[in-house]
């Protein structure tokens, strides 16, 4: 059974938001303790000494930017409009006149 979500509760997991942020400069060493994270969103740039749970300046580096989206976009044109209403054939007119 999964854990229920509680708004404002204690966060589960310890992965930092900076790992997937395009504003972060992360330098890692060979050991797990050798890691320096620098945030480029604030001015002057700040060294972050702890894992970040939530950040207002977060921008996912896996999300395409505006220029990449316009290159991938497909131009859609509308087809010519078809006539609206019922189709009238030769056999339908004869039945309507008899009534």
pTM score over 0.85: no
Q: Residue 11 falls within a domain, yes or no? A: no
Q: Residue 5 falls within a domain, yes or no? A: no
Q: Residue 86 falls within a domain, yes or no? A: yes
Domain count, the chain: 1
67 — pLDDT class (breaks 50, 70, 90): very high
Q: Residue 31 falls within a domain, yes or no? A: yes
pLDDT above 70 for 58: yes
pLDDT in tens, 2-54: 666 667 666 666 778 888 888 888 888 888 778 888 888 888 888 888 788 77
Q: Residue 21 falls within a domain, yes or no? A: yes
Q: What's the per-residue H, E or C state across the chain?
A: CCCCCCCCCCCCCCCCHHHHECCEEEEECCCCCCEEEEECCCCCCEEECCCCCCCCCCCECCCCCHHHHHHHCCCCCCCCCCCCCCCCCHHHHHHHHHC
Its domain, for residue 69, covers 17-98
């Amino acid at each position: 059974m999964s854990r229920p979500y509680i708004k404002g509760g204690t966060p589960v997991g310890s992965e930092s938001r900076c790992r997937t942020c395009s504003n972060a400069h992360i330098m890692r060493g060979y050991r797990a303790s050798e890691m320096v994270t620098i945030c480029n969103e604030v001015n002057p740039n700040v060294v972050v000494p702890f894992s970040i749970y939530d950040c207002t300046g977060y921008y996912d580096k896996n999300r395409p930017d505006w220029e990449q989206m316009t290159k991938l976009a497909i131009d859609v044109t509308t087809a010519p409009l078809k006539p609206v209403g019922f189709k009238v054939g030769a056999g339908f007119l004869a039945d309507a006149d008899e009534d």
